[in-house]
Amino acid sequence: MRRTVVVTDPPRADDAVATALGELGTATVHEAMGRGGYLGPQFRPAWTGAQTGGTAVTVECWPGDNLMIHVAVEQCRPGDVLVVATTSPSSDGLFGELFATSLMQRGVRGVVLGTGIRDVADLRRLEFPAWSTAVSAQGTVKATAGAVNVPIVLGGQVINPGDVVVGDDDGVAVVPRAHAADTLAKAEARVANEEAARQAFKGGELGLDRYGMRERLADFGIEYVSYEDYHKGE
Amino acid sequence: MRRTVVVTDPPRADDAVATALGELGTATVHEAMGRGGYLGPQFRPAWTGAQTGGTAVTVECWPGDNLMIHVAVEQCRPGDVLVVATTSPSSDGLFGELFATSLMQRGVRGVVLGTGIRDVADLRRLEFPAWSTAVSAQGTVKATAGAVNVPIVLGGQVINPGDVVVGDDDGVAVVPRAHAADTLAKAEARVANEEAARQAFKGGELGLDRYGMRERLADFGIEYVSYEDYHKGE
Amino acid sequence: MRRTVVVTDPPRADDAVATALGELGTATVHEAMGRGGYLGPQFRPAWTGAQTGGTAVTVECWPGDNLMIHVAVEQCRPGDVLVVATTSPSSDGLFGELFATSLMQRGVRGVVLGTGIRDVADLRRLEFPAWSTAVSAQGTVKATAGAVNVPIVLGGQVINPGDVVVGDDDGVAVVPRAHAADTLAKAEARVANEEAARQAFKGGELGLDRYGMRERLADFGIEYVSYEDYHKGE
Amino acid sequence: MRRTVVVTDPPRADDAVATALGELGTATVHEAMGRGGYLGPQFRPAWTGAQTGGTAVTVECWPGDNLMIHVAVEQCRPGDVLVVATTSPSSDGLFGELFATSLMQRGVRGVVLGTGIRDVADLRRLEFPAWSTAVSAQGTVKATAGAVNVPIVLGGQVINPGDVVVGDDDGVAVVPRAHAADTLAKAEARVANEEAARQAFKGGELGLDRYGMRERLADFGIEYVSYEDYHKGE
Amino acid sequence: MRRTVVVTDPPRADDAVATALGELGTATVHEAMGRGGYLGPQFRPAWTGAQTGGTAVTVECWPGDNLMIHVAVEQCRPGDVLVVATTSPSSDGLFGELFATSLMQRGVRGVVLGTGIRDVADLRRLEFPAWSTAVSAQGTVKATAGAVNVPIVLGGQVINPGDVVVGDDDGVAVVPRAHAADTLAKAEARVANEEAARQAFKGGELGLDRYGMRERLADFGIEYVSYEDYHKGE
Amino acid sequence: MRRTVVVTDPPRADDAVATALGELGTATVHEAMGRGGYLGPQFRPAWTGAQTGGTAVTVECWPGDNLMIHVAVEQCRPGDVLVVATTSPSSDGLFGELFATSLMQRGVRGVVLGTGIRDVADLRRLEFPAWSTAVSAQGTVKATAGAVNVPIVLGGQVINPGDVVVGDDDGVAVVPRAHAADTLAKAEARVANEEAARQAFKGGELGLDRYGMRERLADFGIEYVSYEDYHKGE
């Protein structure tokens, strides 16, 4: 049942792990989780090249109302990423440059919003990483209470305070706190495998061979036919 | 009732006011209007960093038909922004680089389209400000009449010829001609207030305190609970 | 009827023609085809400034499954553009940087996907041209067979292997192999016409006059009315 | 500039005219206005078969907030249709069965919402005509002021209090008060013409002949080719 | 390359086959084609319960322009279904009750539009089967030529004149003329199989067993865990 | 981290409570939860009038793959509602009439899918309650494992096995098992309050007065102005 509450001092994932996951990027982290944790293609960076990793401070706002973001700023600590959901669909601009200024002063590494963002030219200039589902100048009220540091859902993923949030040009992924270290280990192994594959592909090896797929093609029912045979009799 | 008409020489907002509003940007102007005039998140800049302010020349086209843009060019004067609506939803590319060339020759400052735009790489190179609801190479016909300099609706806002149109990376806002000077005064006051807040936030002050929200939190029913207490008994 | 087949060695459009069409760009090529061949505004470049022209290797995948892209890489030859459709709507990220590395090694000029793409920061760094209907980190399986080098439909256009595919910031167009040379001739004529118009517009000529539209305005029923007369009696 | 105001006792279009326009239906009224006034395909009836015509009481709400609908009910008189816009996009359910009960007691003929509606099974049972851009059970707050009986924009159309609002299974159209009688006359003439065409079509006459289009086909550049000739040489 | 042409007297699939496929319905026909030919979820019936099967008369219109539908009516013969694409995205109402009246007089069995339809209450009353991607009262012009009985693309499917078009509450599917008889045979076999499965399921058999999936679950890596074990240690 | 698991015999909410909640309907249940638990307007009934309440059996499928629904059927017990999420966005038709037949044999009360459904005419005939985010005939494969009876997210809500799922024409809501009885009590109280309000409204009382809003209008800054005064000086 919904409560209008601010939960204080949640435990957080290890900062070094969160930082390292942020450097590995969204797709790699998502794959390392067994293809989990991705918030989907609706979440777009406010500026090209934004990249971050940090621990979630979660916020639940009413649509078109940023009261709880003001409340949440005080709960943010260095290394955090602010993550904002609204209780129903909205594209209003709940976050802008003044919030970014305040968060940067507190050592916050970025923001993720399941609603609109504004002042994107300023955010780009400040190099404050930000992802949202819309860019909108639409202003907001401060009239209805929500919650801070409760579990929220964004892009089909549950985000708890203290979870690791990773973002880059591919979007945003969340790693549950309890799985952060394990995910990092798997992600690093994946990166090593990919580097080997990269070198092989540069040398002309095919994925068909490298991944052992060629011998399974017949099982898939895939037949090879020349262009002439395929179009014969048309 | 719809008329196929070209209205000539509408009165225009003061050029210095339009220019100044353009420099203040969409979000500030929108807020100064009591959170009005914003065309919504569907209107996106054709290239990152586009910014302008000018007086509206309005055009009503049939979908997929840019006849009336050709007619409207002649009505444009220095300091204008061309604003184009279609009579029903369409994403076809009604505007491209040749129109921009013609408009630049006439001192026009930009274009806003509730339909598609094309040649966006050229527009970026020419630094011609442009906003639209789609990027589309789809070509158009010149077969059906519309209107120039009549009131149009775009993004839920009424735009009259001579109104001020402001655009930046956050989208587009319109200021009615009669309210342009007043909106500028309010917008400038807002900018001053925001600069003071910016400095305070850089110094560590919180919005909660600066905006006097902390004392109202209890009225909102917001309670503070430790993480341990919140999850007790799960 | 659907077949799980790889068609080998389809004839291809002339490489010099494909290259030249790519340099002319999507809007020009689309117009030269009588306003045909455009895949629509849903296809967006993965990075600003991407531009290419090449011959299609077509792929039909199941949604969320990139098995057939692995199969298709082997069919790619220098000058090709890989073109991928899914059998039902999906935004999953079927293509990323490792595929791009492999394709670049083979001289492939770009990729067009009617589904999601990922690693877009890497693609930008590699300058590998790519267009898609979504950016998504969502990983995929390799579980279900599709087809390579069969006719596919993307954005309402039929694409056959060997057809010319052209892409830039305005999106993507396809030119049937049999019409490539003819389209190039028409496109080049169009470019020449446009350059003449460009110079005329820079000199202040109006499209109304240049295109002979002014004398037809009365036929369209367009009347010119002064602002005062239009608003008289309100 | 936005004002939080309730405008009382606006003049209204003639009730008999509004009723008659409602019986003629949305498409006919839209055509009679020179193809104007239609709110677009996003507005759908809450139940199949809803049809109405009445005079607008306009409401501007904040998204997710139905305070002003409560205020507006008191302003409604027999023969009115309540028309609700939100200041930014939202799908929350601002209107349900209890409002319908209250409005029916006052002789109101229907509701049109540019946001969500709920209790649609009850509305169907009550046969209370309703159109909206979403069906949503999402509940709302009563926290932010808006306006009643000011001009609003819905679906690209300006609606003033007292204008005629017409709705059926094809959606919703608005007729400015000053044009209601004239539109009714044109609509009735159109219906008569259509009835004559209907009888002709039942008798086998073609629109090509009835509307004099056949003789213009050559001007359009339309050529007739047999199937065999068209596919010759493929 | 686009041509403004009317192709006359295309060969058509066998009428009895088309009728039989229509009775089997969209999902069954789609499956019988190896999961092909489906136009996707955007195509919705204008009224619940519409069902048909017939041979395609294809039309290519400009958006917001129904000139070519007038031309196409004359090409329709008993047993046909009119299928209409626009050259770019549009939701305007290109088709309504008068067209339906004319088509019914000619023995046409339905209409499929990749654009808007209107007069849906009348179509329901007339029981004229119709599918479209939008319901819209928006009126149209007759200003730009297109084509009749050329190959068109709708919902990602190529439709040739004379192909079989099947529609019901699940949407629309197309069967190439050359595969109509074969598809019917496969569809009938599928119906027989489904009837056997239906009886088995009514008797309590599980699909897991009937389709031999249970023994493959371990290969899929699927493990069974009790609720207590799954949540142990949380 | 994702696991391919079938969790057996989860505890379920009380059946009488689930049944009663289903009879109260989605909007009432959502309000009783403090405006929580609603899956949003994307979830639509497959047929008008569907209504149910039961306990969730949860399924996580890959897009376009219904293998795990086959697995889940065996886990269903009388009084359950099957609830299906896909791991990424899809509209393919994962569920149809044969599944419904099997589930009805097991006493299952309905299905909720965050993907497509088909055979909707049959489901209507069978009166099997069903909600989905799309209607699609698109067939599926059985190639990739997922999970049964793990927590899933649908429409921004977490659904655990055994939670109560409620659906009607307004969409779908979920009530956590631990809050089911409390929610029922609150919902019943709400229904009683609404019935009193209904009678009052039928008698002409206004919500403004009944809910004590009239005295707060001045605090909201709402002013009443006559039409003449509002438009004075225009």
Residue in C71, C101, C137 nearest the CB of A38: C137
Minimal Cα distance from C50: which residue of B?
B121
Confidence band, pLDDT 50/70/90 cuts, at residue A184: very high
Q: Is A170 helix (H, G, I), strand (E, B) or coil?
A: coil
Task: Quickly count helices (H) and strands (E) in chain D.
Answer: 8, 13
Nearest to F61 by CA among F11, F111, F9, F124: F111
Q: Which chains touch E (3 or more CB pairs under 8 A)?
A: B, C, D, F
Report residues of chain D scoring pLDDT below 70: 1-2, 233-234
Burial code (b: 16+ CB inside 10 Å, e: under 16) for D48-63 equals eebbbbbbbbbbbbbb
The three-state (H, E, C) secondary structure of E87-103, written as one string:
CCCECCEEECHHHHHHH
* D5–F223 CB contact, under 8 Å: yes
- Helix residue ranges per DSSP H, chain C: 15-24, 26-32, 67-73, 97-105, 120-126, 180-202, 207-210, 227-231
B145 touches chain C (CB under 8 A): yes
- A19 to chain D, any CB pair closer than 8 A? The answer is no
Convert the pLDDT of each residue in B84-130 to its tens digit. Answer: 999 999 999 999 999 999 999 999 999 999 999 999 999 999 999 99
Using CA atoms, how far residue D63 sits from A47, A140, D94, F43, F130, in Å, is 27, 10, 9, 20, 29
pLDDT for A16 equals 98
Contact state of A194 with C8 under an 8 Å Cβ cutoff: no
Among F2, F62, F67, F87, most C C-beta atoms within 10 A, so best to mutate, is F62
CB contact under 8 A, F1 and A179: yes
> Could you tell me how many CB contacts below 8 A there are between chain A and chain C?
117
Q: What are phi and psi of E85, to 5 degrees?
A: -115, 155
The answer for A 27-56 residues in CB contact with B (under 8 A) is: 47-48
Burial A125-160, CB ≥16 within 10 A → b, else e: eeebbbbbbbbbbbbbbbbbbbbbbbebbbbbbbbb
pLDDT(E182) > 80: yes
Average the pLDDT over F106-112 and give the result. 98
Query: F121 to chain A nearest CA, in Å?
Result: 30
- State whether F62 and C144 contact (CB < 8 Å): no
| Cβ distance of E87 and C179 shorter than 8 Å | no
Residue B137 is nearest to which of C38, C44, C51, comparing CB atoms? C38
Per-residue pLDDT for F234 more than 80? no
Q: Taking phi first (over 0 means left), then psi (-120 to 50 degrees means alpha), and beta for anything else, what does residue B79 get? A: left
State whether A207 and C5 contact (CB < 8 Å): no
Enter the DSSP assignment of B69.
Answer: H
pTM of this structure: 0.97
| CA–CA separation, F95 and F84 (whole Å) | 10
CA distance B177 to chain A (A): 21
Residue C181 to residue A105: CA distance in whole angstroms? 60
**CA of A89, closest CA in chain D: separation in Å?**
7
The tally of CA atoms less than 13 A away on the side-chain side of residue E175 is: 39
Segment C18-31 shows an average pLDDT of: 98
Q: Which two tokens stand for residue D92?
A: 């929350």
Say how far apart CA F127 and CA F51 lie, in whole Å: 10
Q: Is D143 on the interface with A (CB under 8 A)?
A: yes
The label of the residue with tokens 């799309």 reads F134
Cβ-Cβ contacts under 8 Å for E220 (sequence gap 6 or more): F4, F67, F144, F145
Q: Which helix (H) or strand (E) holds A136?
A: none
**E2 pLDDT higher than 80:** no
Yes or no: say if B148 and B10 are a contact pair by the CB < 8 Å rule. Answer: no
CB atoms within 10 A of CB E232: 9
Do the chains contact at D2 and B34, CB–CB below 8 Å?
yes
Phi, psi dihedral angles at E174 (to 5 degrees): -120, 140
- For residue B86, the cross-strand partners are B61
Q: Say yes or no for a CB contact (<8 Å) between C88 and E158.
A: no
Spatial separation of the C-alpha atoms in residues E216 and E209, rounded to whole Å:
11
Q: What is the mean pLDDT of residues F121-135?
A: 98
Smallest CA–CA distance, residue D90 to chain B, in Å, is: 12
Check CB contact of A120 with chain B, cutoff 8 Å.
Answer: yes
Query: D200 to chain A, minimum CA–CA distance in Å?
Result: 44
Instruction: Tell me the C-alpha to C-alpha distance, in Å, between residue A63 and each of A146, F30, F33, F180.
Output: 10, 17, 18, 26
Among E1, E35, E141, E182, pick the best mutation site for testing chain C contact (most C Cβ within 10 A). E1
Looking at residue C188, its pLDDT comes to 98
User: Does the interface ipTM go beyond 0.90?
Assistant: yes
The predicted structure's pLDDT at residue E233: 66
Reported as a pLDDT band with limits 50, 70 and 90, residue C234 is low
Cβ–Cβ gap B202/A105 under 8 Å: yes
Q: What is the pLDDT of residues A68-83, one digit of tens each?
A: 999 999 999 999 999 9
Q: Which two three-digit tokens encode residue B67?
A: 């006849």
CB contact under 8 A, F35 and A87: yes
D2 touches chain B (CB under 8 A): yes
Locate the domains of chain D by residue range: 15-177, 189-230
F60, burial (CB in 10 Å: exposed 0-12, middle 13-18, buried 19+): buried
Contact E137, E120 (CB under 8 A): no
Interface touch A226/C70, C-beta < 8 Å: no
Judged by phi (left if over 0) then psi (alpha if -120 to 50, else beta), residue D80 lies in beta
pLDDT digits (tens, 9 = 90+) for A138-170: 999 999 999 999 999 999 999 999 999 999 999
**What torsion, rounded to 10 degrees, do the Cα atoms E86, E90, E94, E100 define?**
80
Other C-beta atoms closer than 10 Å to the C-beta of C92 total 33
Listed in order, strand segments (DSSP E) in A124-206 are: 130-135, 147-148, 152-154, 157-159, 164-168, 171-175
Distance CA C169, CA B92 (A): 15
Q: Examine the pLDDT at A218 and tell me if it is beyond 90.
A: yes
Question: Which candidate, B50, B47, B41, places its Cα nearest to that of A134?
Answer: B41
Q: Rounded CA gap, E83 and E97, in Å?
A: 16
Q: How far apart are CA D110 and CA D167, in angstroms?
A: 9
Between chains, do F74 and E206 touch, taking CB under 8 Å as contact? yes
pLDDT of residue E38: 98
Reference F115, options F150, F155, F171, F166; nearest CA is F155
E123-172 pLDDT tens trace: 999 999 999 999 999 999 999 999 999 999 999 999 999 999 999 999 99
Residues B141-152 as b or e (16 or more Cβ within 10 Å = b): bbbbbbbbbbeb
Nearest to E117 by CA among B64, D170, D197, B89: D170
Residues of C in Cβ contact (< 8 Å) with A169: 120-121, 124, 135
Q: What's the pLDDT at C233?
A: 66
pLDDT, tens digit, 9 for 90 and up, residues A32-57: 999 999 999 999 999 999 999 999 99
Q: Tell me which residue of D213, D220, D214 sits closest to E146, measured CA to CA.
A: D220
pLDDT in tens, A123-144: 999 999 999 999 999 999 999 9
What is the token pair recorded at E130? 């119709």
Question: What is the rounded distance in angstroms from the CA atom of residue F41 to the CA atom of residue E11?
Answer: 45
Extract the tokens encoding C25: 């760009």
CB D43 within 8 A of CB A70: no
Residue C198 has pLDDT above 90, yes or no: yes
**Are the Cβ atoms of B136 and C40 closer than 8 angstroms?**
yes
Closest-CA distance, F207 to chain D, in angstroms, reads 6
Of C41, C204, C208, the CB nearest to B70: C208
Q: Residue F169: which of D67, D91, D121 has the nearest Cβ? A: D121
How many Cα atoms are found within 13 Å in the side-chain-facing hemisphere of A94? 34
Model confidence pLDDT, tens digit, residues E205-232: 999 999 999 999 999 999 999 999 999 8
* C35 close to B64: Cβ distance less than 8 angstroms: no
Query: Can you give the pLDDT at residue E142?
Result: 95
Query: Minimal Cα–Cα distance from E120 to chain B, Å?
Result: 19
CB of D171 within 8 Å of a chain E CB? The answer is yes
| pLDDT given for residue E3 in this prediction | 85
Q: How many residues are listed for chain B in this entry?
A: 234
Provide the CATH number for the domain formed by F15-177 in this structure: 3.50.30.40
Unique residue bearing structure tokens 């307007």: F41
Q: Which amino acid is at E136?
A: S
Closest CA–CA distance from residue F118 to any residue of chain C (Å): 14
Question: What are the chain A neighbours of B155 within 8 Å (beta carbons)?
Answer: none
Rounded to the nearest angstrom, the gap between the alpha carbon of residue E53 and the centroid of all alpha carbons in its chain is 9
Provide the pLDDT for residue D163. 98
E87 touches chain C (CB under 8 A): yes
Contact E88 C3 (CB under 8 A): no
Q: Please give, rounded to a whole number of angstroms, the shortest distance from the CA of F121 to a CA of chain D.
A: 17
